[in-house]
């Protein structure tokens, strides 16, 4: 009787790295990696030699030098005596805040326009089509400049809000009036909005020159706890629905959990609003030349935020429209047959399934919006590009260092956004049982 045995294995030979398919792919990857590293080493060495020939070196010590310039919008304390490193942080925070709110508003506008573009109402559908085609086919920079010009050139001057003795005597009103219950003043110099103030704050401490408020931390903690409790409520309602077929009413619990704890904390801290306005005499006559109190939001920030939101909202609208159209019409017909209204059908059946198609292009739009904040430099919005890549670069002459830092920061921002959205995408994908 003969036994089947494995054929003897060939001994390894160098020629197998090229002719054997088991090793050839690895060989090619090693060669490409070596060539890439060699190219990077050559570029780095060439850069260092050219800088040395000009008497320069790669040094980031300039970040500790005095900046010497002012920044209008700042989320943390800053003066022109602060360092370039602190100016970098201010610019980064300005980039983050306009990108954060831009992504939120662009998503709201995009979802709204994308859904309405599929409306059976001819007028509504055509209006949304005009919005999408007009705004996405004009360069974003032009929309930014146009929005800034509208705010800075068409709005009234602060003096137009003043109340004079003659107005009091004749019973006339100022040339300009505040809006939103007499609390917001839009002037040619900026938008003055109410500022939240606390009568009984919890105090705080300083960390790396930044004031950290216990009141803010406590508020964020309460909000996070409320969201966690609300999530537990929704999970319990879903479990009851799967077990009994009836979903318990949870809207009042959601409202109570999300609103009452935070409201109680704010009341305990003595929340009130500092309304912008003029200082007045006993007779009601305005004093001074500028509005005092409240928070002044620069028109550069407002114009950039509006332009980014409406421009990228068009692309998100198209992503939403394509995602909805990718869902079979039979899904809607089945929902209508069960007695669901069109609005409930869209919220509960169509959009949850369409998200799997919508999210990938949505990630790209969030990344593009974040990088397009650099266009704010055209209207003097000092974000990361305006501070580190603008004034700091020109004052210090450290072009290479500034560009490398900016590239690294934007790379980290983009990778962070992409990673977060990919996690959300994995959570929304269809799960097989």
For residue 288, the model assigns a pLDDT of: 75
Same domain, 308 and 365: yes
CA 71 to chain centre: 20
pLDDT in tens, 148-178: 999 988 888 888 888 887 888 787 888 888 8
**Number of domains the chain contains:** 2
- Kindly report the number of other CB atoms within 10 A of residue 244's CB atom: 9
Q: Is the pLDDT of residue 52 over 90?
A: no
Same domain, 267 and 279: no
For residue 8, the model assigns a pLDDT of: 56
For residue 433, the model assigns a pLDDT of: 52
CA–CA–CA angle 352, 221, 411 (5° rounding):
60
Same domain, 128 and 175: yes
Confirm whether 29 is domain-assigned: no
1/232: higher pLDDT: 232
Tokens of 252: 């009042």
Give one DSSP letter per residue of 300-314, joined into a string.
HHHHHHHHHHHHHHH
- In angstroms, the CA 263 to CA 177 distance is 30
140/284: higher pLDDT: 140
Confirm whether 349 is domain-assigned: yes
For residue 432, the model assigns a pLDDT of: 53
H/E stretch holding 209 reads: none
Confirm whether 344 is domain-assigned: yes
Same domain, 269 and 280: no
Same domain, 356 and 388: yes
User: Residues of the chain with pLDDT > 90: what percent?
Assistant: 38
For residue 169, the model assigns a pLDDT of: 78
Length of the chain: 433
Q: What distance, in Å, lies between the first and last C-alpha atoms of the chain?
A: 50
Same domain, 389 and 289: yes
For 297, phi then psi, to 5°, come to -100, 120
| 129 close to 119: Cβ distance less than 8 angstroms | no
- In angstroms, the CA 312 to CA 309 distance is 6
The model's confidence at residue 337, banded by pLDDT at 50, 70 and 90, is confident
- Kindly report the number of other CB atoms within 10 A of residue 185's CB atom: 26
For residue 7, the model assigns a pLDDT of: 57
Same domain, 361 and 309: yes
Same domain, 405 and 288: yes
Domain boundary among 222, 257, 273: 273
CATH of the domain at 185: 1.10.3720.10
Confirm whether 7 is domain-assigned: no
| 281 close to 75: Cβ distance less than 8 angstroms | no
Identify the three-state secondary structure at position 192. strand
Identify the three-state secondary structure at position 118. coil
Confirm whether 106 is domain-assigned: yes
Q: Is the pLDDT of residue 3 over 60?
A: no
Same domain, 215 and 341: no
Domain boundary among 273, 289, 319: 273
Confirm whether 68 is domain-assigned: no
Same domain, 133 and 232: no
For residue 176, the model assigns a pLDDT of: 83
Domain boundary among 223, 252, 273: 273
Same domain, 330 and 186: yes
Q: Is the pLDDT of residue 27 over 70?
A: yes
Confirm whether 9 is domain-assigned: no
For residue 431, the model assigns a pLDDT of: 62
- In angstroms, the CA 328 to CA 130 distance is 26
Q: What is the value of pTM for the model shown?
A: 0.84
- Cα atoms in the 13 Å half-sphere on the side-chain side of 244: 9
Q: Is the pLDDT of residue 353 over 60?
A: yes
Confirm whether 366 is domain-assigned: yes
pLDDT in tens, 93-126: 999 999 999 999 999 999 999 989 988 888 999 9
Q: Domain limits at 289?
A: 84-194+275-428
Tokens of 250: 């949870």
Same domain, 394 and 421: yes
Contacts of 67-73 spanning 24+ positions with Cβ under 8 A: 67/391, 67/392, 67/395, 68/395, 69/391, 69/395, 71/382, 71/387, 72/298, 72/300, 72/382, 73/297, 73/298, 73/300, 73/301, 73/381, 73/382
307/241: higher pLDDT: 307
């Amino acid at each position: 009787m003969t036994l089947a045995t494995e054929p003897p294995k060939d001994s390894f030979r160098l020629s197998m790295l090229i002719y054997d398919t088991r090793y050839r792919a690895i060989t090619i990857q090693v060669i490409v990696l070596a060539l890439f590293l060699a190219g990077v080493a050559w570029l780095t060495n060439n850069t260092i030699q050219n800088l040395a020939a000009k008497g320069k070196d790669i040094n980031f010590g300039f970040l500790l030098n005095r900046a010497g310039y002012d920044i209008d919008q700042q989320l943390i304390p800053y003066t022109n005596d602060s360092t370039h490193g602190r100016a970098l942080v201010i610019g980064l925070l300005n980039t983050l805040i306009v990108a954060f709110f831009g992504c939120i508003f662009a998503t709201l506008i995009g979802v709204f326009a994308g859904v309405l573009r599929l409306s059976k109402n001819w007028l509504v559908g055509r209006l949304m089509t005009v919005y999408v085609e007009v705004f996405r086919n004009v360069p974003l920079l032009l929309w930014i400049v146009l929005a800034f010009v509208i705010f800075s050139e068409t709005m009234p001057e602060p003096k137009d809000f003043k109340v004079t003795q003659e107005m009091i005597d004749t019973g006339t009103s100022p040339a300009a009036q505040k809006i939103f219950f007499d609390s917001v003043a839009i002037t040619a110099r900026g938008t003055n909005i109410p500022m939240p103030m606390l009568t009984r704050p919890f105090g705080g401490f300083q960390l790396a020159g930044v004031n950290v408020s216990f009141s803010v931390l406590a508020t964020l903690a309460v909000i996070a706890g409320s969201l966690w409790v609300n999530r537990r409520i929704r999970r319990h309602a879903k479990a009851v629905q799967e077990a009994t077929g009836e979903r318990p009413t949870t809207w009042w619990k959601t409202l109570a959990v999300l609103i009452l704890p935070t409201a109680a904390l704010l009341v305990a801290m003595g929340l009130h609003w500092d309304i912008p306005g003029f200082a007045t005499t006993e007779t009601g006559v305005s004093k001074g030349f500028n509005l005092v109190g409240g928070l002044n939001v620069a028109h550069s920030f407002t114009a950039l935020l509006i332009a980014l939101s409406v421009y990228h909202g068009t692309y998100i609208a198209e992503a939403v429209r394509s995602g909805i159209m990718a869902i079979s019409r039979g899904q809607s017909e089945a929902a209508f047959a069960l007695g669901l209204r069109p609005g409930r059908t869209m919220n509960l059946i169509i959009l949850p399934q369409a998200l799997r198609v919508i999210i990938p292009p949505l990630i790209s739009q969030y990344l593009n919006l974040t990088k397009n904040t650099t266009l704010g430099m055209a209207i003097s919005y000092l974000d990361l590009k305006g501070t580190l890549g603008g004034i700091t670069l020109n004052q210090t002459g450290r072009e290479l260092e500034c560009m490398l830092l900016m590239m690294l920061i934007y790379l980290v921002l983009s990778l962070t956004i992409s990673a977060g959205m990919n996690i959300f995408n994995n959570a929304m994908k269809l799960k097989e049982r």
